[in-house]
């Protein structure tokens, strides 16, 4: 394999020798930074060139773009890191619609490699307004093979993504206890002390705009203090129950560790409209992961988010709880389809997984972020399938 110092030319033929990591059916994305620096910084873009390859030849032209590191625990604690890339103009990638921004998700701790993709597929299938599309690929960065990644649409305000009205003040907000310095955050103090709400849209919001959002959030939370006796009609003036119900069941089904309003929990609000929960995001350690870190999260039993923050207040209202539970009964056949998705992805990723776990030999490891050791990739897929079957069974038995 050539070194970055030799300045890999992204030409028509695949630029690397194939014996160590042979072609296994996934398209391969090759990125070479202009500076050839291997240590890409988190949050700081650097210019690079990118090209997509099949088995032997390129699948498109060489493209200029910028790349930076991204993630929190995945960036700080895991050697296989995630990245974000931005093109100057919208580009279609791996058959997905044209976008400027794309996320390269490493899924290091996920031995099935498919949990994020599974969650986004389910979110789309149950009819959430936007769920990130994603496709698997093998990744080379500055001449180094980095394994199987997931190319994913970013969460951003666009007509084909998070679509917000333009004629009123509108916001895309994340509950984010992991916010970074310099990001716009407001803090609510009604139900919790200094609960951080990170504003993703509008960019560089004015002080008056931030104050308007915070006032509405705290007014909603004061309503939640008395929500137990409220009517469904009164609740629906504050929060979109359809959007809430669909959003609730994805991270709850997956027992997402962050879904207790810690981080990666999004909502939108437009002036004069109810709050809408979503989109969903970040599931690599969900679906029974993090056993060492939190044994309860590994079990397919028990609730994860029903008693968390806003949810605890909302579910104290019996009519609201009954409404959300009826959504599960209606959506349960779609969640049953998760087993088929896992089976088909397990077959498609069997050979790519061999390359990935040759590069990252973690199948026999376990730790804070990495779930139980397994003998092979097939066992990891089977464990995920069994967990999902058990999870669906438990929810069926515990919703009236």
Q: What is the distance between the alpha carbons of residues 389 and 391, in angstroms, rounded to a whole number?
A: 5
Token reading at 189: 């103090």
Question: Which are the contacts of 44, defined by CB distance < 8 A and separation ≥ 6?
Answer: 68
Which pLDDT tens digit goes with each residue over 91-106? 999 999 999 999 999 9
Indicate the pTM of the whole model.
Answer: 0.95
**Residue 270 β-bridge partners:** 170
Q: What is the distance between the alpha carbons of residues 87 and 79, in angstroms, rounded to a whole number?
A: 26
Q: What are phi and psi of 70, to 5 degrees?
A: -150, 165
Question: Which are the contacts of 255, defined by CB distance < 8 A and separation ≥ 6?
Answer: 286, 287, 288, 297, 300, 304, 391
Of the CA atoms within 13 Å of residue 393, those in its CB half-sphere come to 10
Inter-residue contact 314 to 392 (CB < 8 Å)? no
149 has a pLDDT exceeding 70? yes
- Tokens 């409404």 sit on residue: 323
Q: What is the distance between the alpha carbons of residues 211 and 217, in angstroms, rounded to a whole number?
A: 10
Give percent above pLDDT 90 in the chain. 85
Q: What is the distance between the alpha carbons of residues 66 and 127, in angstroms, rounded to a whole number?
A: 33
Q: What is the distance between the alpha carbons of residues 145 and 147, in angstroms, rounded to a whole number?
A: 6
Query: What burial class does residue 204 get, using C-beta atoms within 10 Å of its C-beta: 0-12 exposed, 13-18 middle, 19+ buried?
Result: exposed
pLDDT on residue 74:
73
pLDDT on residue 373:
84
Residue among 204, 213, 209 at smallest CA distance from 268: 213
Report residue 334's pLDDT band, with 50, 70 and 90 as the boundaries.
Answer: very high
369 has a pLDDT exceeding 70? no
Which pLDDT tens digit goes with each residue over 190-237? 998 899 999 999 999 999 999 999 999 999 999 999 999 999 999 999
Q: What is the CA radius of gyration of the chain?
A: 22
* Mean pLDDT for the stretch of residues 169-194: 95
Report residue 372's pLDDT band, with 50, 70 and 90 as the boundaries.
Answer: confident
Q: What is the distance between the alpha carbons of residues 190 and 169, in angstroms, rounded to a whole number?
A: 23
Q: What is the distance between the alpha carbons of residues 195 and 207, in angstroms, rounded to a whole number?
A: 18
**CB atoms near residue 20 (< 10 Å):** 11
Inter-residue contact 285 to 109 (CB < 8 Å)? yes
Give percent above pLDDT 70 in the chain. 95
């Amino acid at each position: 394999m050539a070194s970055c110092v030799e300045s890999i030319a992204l030409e028509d033929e695949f630029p690397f020798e194939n014996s160590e990591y042979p072609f296994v059916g996934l398209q391969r994305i090759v990125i070479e930074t202009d500076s050839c620096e291997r240590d890409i910084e988190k949050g700081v873009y650097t210019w690079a060139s990118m090209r997509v390859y099949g088995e032997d030849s390129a699948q498109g032209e060489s493209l200029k773009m910028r790349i930076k590191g991204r993630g929190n625990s995945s960036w700080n604690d895991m050697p296989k890191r995630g990245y974000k890339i931005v093109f100057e103009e919208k580009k279609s990638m791996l058959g997905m619609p044209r976008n400027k921004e794309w996320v390269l998700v490493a899924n290091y701790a996920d031995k099935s490699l498919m949990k994020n993709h599974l969650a986004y597929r389910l979110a789309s299938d149950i009819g959430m307004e936007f769920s990130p599309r994603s496709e698997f690929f093998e990744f080379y960065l500055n001449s180094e093979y980095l394994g199987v990644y997931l190319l994913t649409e970013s969460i951003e305000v666009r007509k084909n993504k998070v679509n917000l009205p333009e004629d009123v003040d509108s916001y895309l907000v994340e509950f984010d206890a992991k916010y970074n310095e310099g990001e716009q955050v407001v803090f609510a103090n009604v139900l919790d002390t200094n609960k951080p709400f990170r504003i993703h849209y509008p960019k560089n919001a004015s002080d008056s705009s931030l104050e308007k959002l915070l006032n509405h959030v705290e007014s909603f939370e004061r309503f939640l203090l008395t929500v137990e006796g409220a009517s469904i009609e009164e609740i629906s003036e504050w929060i979109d129950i359809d959007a809430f119900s669909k959003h609730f069941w994805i991270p709850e089904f997956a027992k997402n560790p962050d879904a207790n309003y810690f981080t990666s929990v999004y909502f939108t609000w437009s002036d004069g409209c109810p709050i809408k929960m979503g989109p969903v995001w970040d599931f690599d350690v969900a679906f029974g992961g993090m056993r060492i870190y939190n044994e309860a999260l590994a079990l397919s039993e028990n609730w994860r988010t029903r008693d968390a923050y806003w949810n605890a207040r909302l579910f104290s209202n019996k009519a609201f709880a009954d409404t959300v539970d009826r959504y599960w009964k209606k959506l349960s056949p779609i969640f049953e389809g998760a087993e088929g998705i896992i089976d088909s992805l397990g077959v498609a990723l069997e050979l790519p997984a061999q390359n990935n776990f040759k590069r990252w030999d973690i199948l026999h490891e376990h730790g804070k972020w990495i779930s139980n050791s397994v003998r092979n990739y097939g066992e990891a897929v089977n464990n995920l399938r069994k967990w999902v079957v058990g999870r669906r069974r438990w929810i069926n038995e515990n919703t009236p």
